[in-house]
């Protein structure tokens, strides 16, 4: 349960404006070889993601269905659903996955992917 709480904390930190506005913190959280596959189909490097996050408009994000799978010692896959609201616009739902590696005494994200979620049947 400690790993679940730790990685949930790091993921939600990355969703917050404090981390998104702090280049040094982003560099600590994202591994040098970090890559993101965006919902647009674009591939983002660490440097591109950091620049984009520093310029991004504030948003409210809520995480649900957060799951952690330990893939190997010091390597974990997290998956979750994220609800994002920007400037009172209609909420957007996405499915997210991140790969984290324990490196130098800290967990660092090495990969992230966001995919628009289909509406939930209900």
pLDDT of 122 over the 60 cut: no
Phi-psi region of 103 (alpha: psi -120 to 50; beta: other; left: phi over 0): beta
What does the pLDDT look like over 95-113, one tens digit per residue?
Answer: 999 999 998 899 999 999 9
Q: Is the dihedral of CA 122, 88, 53, 10 positive or negative?
A: negative
Instruction: Tell me what pLDDT residue 106 has.
Output: 95
Under the banding of pLDDT at 50, 70 and 90, the label for residue 121 is low
Q: Which pLDDT band, with edges at 50, 70 and 90, does 41 fall under?
A: confident
In which band, very low, low, confident or very high, does the pLDDT at 12 lie, cut at 50, 70 and 90?
A: very high
Domain ranges of the chain: 2-116
Report d(CA 77, CA 116) in Å as an integer.
Answer: 19
Specify burial of residue 38 (Cβ count, 10 A radius: 0-12, 13-18, 19+): middle
CATH topology of domain 2-116: Nuclear Transport Factor 2; Chain: A, (3.10.450)
- Look at the chain and count its residues: 122
Using CA atoms, how far apart are residues 68 and 117, in angstroms rounded to an integer?
19
Q: What is the pLDDT of residues 52-89, one digit of tens each?
A: 999 988 888 999 999 999 999 999 999 999 988 887 77
Side-chain half-sphere exposure of 72, counting CA atoms within 13 A: 4
Output the CA–CA distances (angstroms, integers) from residue 69 to 42, 61, 66, 112, in the order listed. 26, 22, 10, 15
């Amino acid at each position: 349960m400690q790993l679940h709480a730790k990685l949930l904390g790091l993921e939600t930190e990355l969703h917050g404006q404090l981390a998104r506005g702090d280049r040094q913190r982003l560099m600590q959280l994202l591994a040098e070889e970090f890559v993101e596959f965006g919902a647009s189909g674009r591939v983002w490097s660490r440097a591109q993601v950091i620049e984009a996050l520093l310029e991004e408009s504030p948003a409210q994000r809520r995480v649900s269905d957060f799951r952690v799978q330990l893939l190997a010692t010091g390597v974990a896959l997290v998956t979750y659903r994220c609800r994002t609201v920007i400037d009172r616009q209609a909420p957007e739902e996405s499915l997210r996955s991140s790969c984290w590696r324990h490196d130098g005494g800290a967990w660092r994200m090495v990969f992230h992917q966001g995919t628009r979620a289909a509406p939930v049947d209900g």
